[in-house]
Amino acid sequence: MVASPWWFPIGREVAPQDLVGREPFLADVAARVRLGESLVICAPRRTGKTSVVREALRRLAGEGWLTAFADLMRHPSEPRLAEALTDAVLQNETGLHRTLERLRGAAATAAGLMQLSTKTDAGLEFALRFRAATPSLEDALEAGEMLAQRLGRRIAVVFDEFQSAPAIRADIYGFMRSILQRHQRSVYLFLGSQAGLLEQQFTRTHAPFFKFAIVRPLPDVPGEAWASYLHDRFAQAGHTVSPELCRALVARTGGHPHCTMVVANKVLMARSLQPDMAESALLELAYAAGLDDLSATYDEMYRGCASPPAAHAVLMRLAGGMPPYGEASGTPVRRALLALTDAAIVRRLDRGRYEFPEPMFADWLRRMQA
């Protein structure tokens, strides 16, 4: 993926050169996988965890690893997840997206099906038994390990948005653990945007995945790494801005990756239209425009916090710089705070102290309140 010289990537997986400040974490993830350590990687949505893990997979593939990636939110049923995971495994050998669909549409003879292979026949032969029907979820969970054994290689398998798995099958955590724990050539990465819910599955004594994987939260990007990146990218786009503007931009967005890219794009647009505007006014204009662009997302986040009943009141108090406990009694507020932290809307700092991982959401709440 080649980055554009004039825009900042938003709403998609980003190129390696745009993974700002992630190299130490990337190196750590790849090193742990090489040692056979399965991982849980937690971070709020739109902070870059998927892009980071995709780059780790790319590097591992370059070393001869098989890789597979399945997004549970995109495939919210057993048949869809089973087919997506099987396709992801088979793509290592066939080089084809949606291999099973292509097999079903191919000639019915083995010779005709073999012509789909672009690398070796191993993966394609492995898929022949699935050409008439969707594989079961058990078959799909076994597929990566079986192919790795057949080829004498290792495989890294990623399950994205893993906290949503119970919507696919009520007993899915126990079911998956019973299968995955037998695998010798597979390493698993479980990604999630709701850290509290996801971590419980791997850290609570009686949870099905207890001690199956190490929890590794995605760290925040250092402010200076952001400022340096922004300064260089503005220069590549032909716009000279001061390091101070870049630092101020990062301070306003809190270094949240998606928000920072959104506001940086607005700076580019405003500077292109009004090249002589003072930097302080430029940033204010860009920030307001970025907040407008994010309003639909924030409205959805806010409406999604309607339960427990005290959650909206707690959000407004925190956004206003007040402690979470107002006139409401303690139990409803505690429940609201637990739900908000589980959903990664707020982050606990200390007893009674919370912050917004996405500071622009707090600004949006204050603007709505005004």
pLDDT digits 0-9 by tens, 334-369: 999 999 998 889 999 988 899 999 999 999 999 998
CB atoms within 10 A of CB 259: 28
Please, what is the angle between helix 257-273 and helix 279-303, to 10°?
Answer: 140
Q: Is the pLDDT of residue 113 over 60?
A: no
DSSP H helical ranges for the chain: 23-34, 49-62, 78-94, 99-105, 110-114, 122-127, 137-151, 172-180, 195-203, 223-236, 243-253, 257-273, 279-303, 311-319, 330-342, 359-369
pLDDT (average), residues 241-269: 96
Residue the block writes with tokens 């893993």: 162
Which residues are registered as beta bridge partners of 68? 157
pLDDT digits 0-9 by tens, 16-71: 999 999 999 999 999 999 999 999 999 988 899 999 999 999 999 999 999 999 99
What letter does residue 44 receive in the DSSP assignment? -
Mean model confidence pLDDT for the chain: 89
Q: How confident is the model at residue 195 (pLDDT cuts 50, 70, 90)?
A: confident
- Dist CA 19 CA 59 (whole Å): 14
Which one-letter amino acid corresponds to residue 155? I
Closest by CA to 198, choosing from 163, 168, 154, is: 163
Q: Which CATH number fits domain 22-217: 3.40.50.300, 3.10.20.30, 3.40.50.10860, 3.40.50.1010?
A: 3.40.50.300
Long-range contacts of 280-287 (CB under 8 A, 24+ apart): 282/245, 283/245, 283/248, 283/249, 283/252, 286/249, 287/249, 287/252, 287/263
Residue spans of the domains in the chain: they are: 22-217, 223-300, 304-369
Pairing type for strands 186-192 and 39-42 reads parallel
